[in-house]
Structure 1
Amino acid sequence: MKFTVLDYSIFALLLVLSSAIGLFYALSGDRQRTVQEFLLANRNMGCLPVALSLLATFQSAVAILGVPSEIYRFGTEYWFLGCSYFLGLLIPAHVFIPIFYRLRVTSTYEYLELRFNKTVRIFGTITFIFQMVIYMGVVLYAPALALNAVTGFDLWSAVLTMGLVCTLYTTLGGLKAVIWTDVFQTLVMVAGQLAVIVVGAGRVGGMAHVWHLAEREGKISGIDLDPDPFQRHTFWTLAVGGIFMMLSLYGVNQAQVQRYLSARSEREAKLSCYAVFPCQQLVLCLSCLTGLVMFVYDRQHPLAPNQHPGSHDQLVLYFVMDVLRDLPGMPGLFVACLFSGCLSTISSAFNSLATVTMEDLVRPHCPGLSESRATMLSKLLALGYGLLCLGMAYVSSMLGPVLQAAISIFGMVGGPLLGLFCLGMFFPCANPTGAVAGLLAGLAMAFWVGIGGLLQAMGGTGGPPPSNSTLLPLTGNHTTTLATTLLASTAAPLSGLQRFYSLSYLWYSAHNSTTVIVVGLVVSLLTGPTPPHTVDPRTISPLLPRLLCCLPPKYRQRLCPGGQDPPQDTDHSDAAVKPKGGVPNGLAPSGHEEEEEAGEGQGYIRTVGAPAYALQETSF
Structure 2
Amino acid sequence: MEPSLKYFDYLDYIVFAFMLIISALIGVYFAFFAKVKQNTTSEYLMGGKTMGTFPISMSLIASYISGISVLGMPAEIYTYGTQFWMIMCSEGLVSLTVAIAILPVFYKLQITSSYEYLKLRFNETVRLLGSILFLTKMLLYIPIVIYVPALAFSQVTGINLHLVTPVVCIVCIFYTTLGGLKAVVWTDTVQTIVMTAALIVVLVMGTISVGGFTEVWNRSDLGGRLEFFNFDWDPTIRHTFWTVTIGNYFSWLASCSINQAMVQRCLAMPSLKSATVTLFVLMFGLMFLITMCCYMGLVIFASYHKCDPITRGYIAKSDQLLPYFVMNIATALPGLPGLFVSGVFSAALSSMSTGLNSMTGVIFEDLIKPRVKTPLSEAKASSIMKVMVVVIGSICVGLVFVVEKMGALIQASGSMGAITAGPLLGIFTLGMFFPCANSIGALVGGLISGSLIAWISIGTQINMAHGQIKFPQKPISLDGCDPNWVSEYLSVALTSDNTQHDVKLPFILFRLSYMYYTATGLITTVAVGLVVSFLTGCNKGQNIHTNLLSPVIHRFVNKHSSNSDVVVSQNCNNDDMQLKQLKN
The equivalent of 2:61 in structure 1 is 55
Q: Residue type of the partner of 2:457?
A: G
Give the secondary-structure state (helix, strand or coil) at the position aligned to 2:8. coil
The equivalent of 1:456 in structure 2 is 463
Deviation at 1:35, TM superposition (A): 0.5
Q: From 569, 572, 575, give the equivalent of 1:589.
A: 572
Q: 2:544 matched to 1:535?
A: yes
Q: From 459, 482, 499, give the equivalent of 2:508.
A: 499
Q: From 508, 511, 517, give the equivalent of 2:517.
A: 508
Distance in 1, matches of 2:160 and 2:466, equals 33
Q: 2:114 matched to 1:105?
A: no
Q: Any residues of structure 2 matched to 1:446-595 within 5 Å, and which?
A: 446-459=453-466, 498-531=507-540, 533-546=542-555, 548=556, 558=564, 561-562=567-568, 589-590=572-573
Q: Any residues of structure 2 matched to 1:357-506 within 5 Å, and which?
A: 357-366=363-372, 367-394=374-401, 396=403, 408-459=415-466, 498-506=507-515
Distance in 2, matches of 1:70 and 1:310, equals 15
Deviation at 1:553, TM superposition (A): 8.4
Change (3 A) 1:492 1:333: farther
Aligned residues of 1:112 and 1:120 also touching (Cα < 8 A):
yes
Q: Residue type of the partner of 1:372?
A: A
**TM-score, structure 1 as length reference:** 0.82
The equivalent of 2:36 in structure 1 is 30
Give the secondary-structure state (helix, strand or coil) at the position aligned to 1:534. strand
Change (3 A) 1:328 1:302: farther
Q: 2:202 matched to 1:219?
A: no
Distance in 1, matches of 2:76 and 2:402, equals 27
Q: Residue type of the partner of 2:376?
A: L
Between the two proteins, what is the percent identity of the paired residues? 38
The equivalent of 2:579 in structure 1 is 612
Q: Residue type of the partner of 2:188?
A: D
Q: Residue type of the partner of 1:246?
A: W
Change (3 A) 1:139 1:379: same
Change (3 A) 1:343 1:499: same
Aligned residues of 2:560 and 2:568 also touching (Cα < 8 A):
no
Q: Any residues of structure 2 matched to 1:91-170 within 5 Å, and which?
A: 91-149=97-155, 151-170=157-176
Deviation at 1:194, TM superposition (A): 0.9
Aligned residues of 1:434 and 1:523 also touching (Cα < 8 A):
yes
Change (3 A) 1:56 1:611: closer
Q: 2:237 matched to 1:231?
A: yes
> Size of the alignment, in residue pairs?
548
The equivalent of 1:580 in structure 2 is none
The equivalent of 1:599 in structure 2 is none
- Flag structure 1 segments of 5+ consecutive residues without an equivalent: 470-489, 565-587, 591-604, 616-620
Q: From 41, 63, 74, give the equivalent of 1:68.
A: 74
Distance in 1, matches of 2:307 and 2:425, equals 46
- 362-371 or 269-278, larger mean C-alpha shift: 362-371
Distance in 1, matches of 2:544 and 2:559, equals 18
Deviations 1:68-127 (A, max 9, x none): 111112222211110010112221112221111110110111000000000111111111
Deviation at 1:589, TM superposition (A): 2.5
Give the secondary-structure state (helix, strand or coil) at the position aligned to 1:535. strand
Change (3 A) 1:243 1:466: closer
- Flag structure 2 segments of 5+ consecutive residues without an equivalent: 1-5, 474-499
Distance in 1, matches of 2:460 and 2:513, equals 10
Q: Residue type of the partner of 1:289?
A: Y
Distance in 2, matches of 1:433 and 1:281, equals 39
Q: Residue type of the partner of 1:21?
A: I
Aligned residues of 2:78 and 2:297 also touching (Cα < 8 A):
yes
Q: Residue type of the partner of 2:75?
A: S
- RMSD in angstroms over aligned alpha carbons? 2.9
Deviation at 1:385, TM superposition (A): 1.8
Change (3 A) 1:611 1:270: closer
Q: Residue type of the partner of 2:431?
A: G
Give the secondary-structure state (helix, strand or coil) at the position aligned to 2:113. coil
Deviation at 1:195, TM superposition (A): 1.2
Distance in 2, matches of 1:520 and 1:283, equals 37
**TM-score, structure 2 as length reference:** 0.87
Q: 2:25 matched to 1:20?
A: yes
Q: Residue type of the partner of 1:430?
A: A
Distance in 1, matches of 2:578 and 2:80, equals 56
Aligned residues of 1:199 and 1:324 also touching (Cα < 8 A):
no
Q: Residue type of the partner of 1:358?
A: F
Deviations 1:203-223 (A, max 9, x none): 111112212332233322241
Give the secondary-structure state (helix, strand or coil) at the position aligned to 2:375. coil
Change (3 A) 1:467 1:97: closer
Distance in 1, matches of 2:311 and 2:223, equals 23
Deviations 1:503-537 (A, max 9, x none): 11111111111100111111111111113642222
Deviation at 1:499, TM superposition (A): 2.4
Change (3 A) 1:56 1:405: closer
Give the secondary-structure state (helix, strand or coil) at the position aligned to 2:258. coil
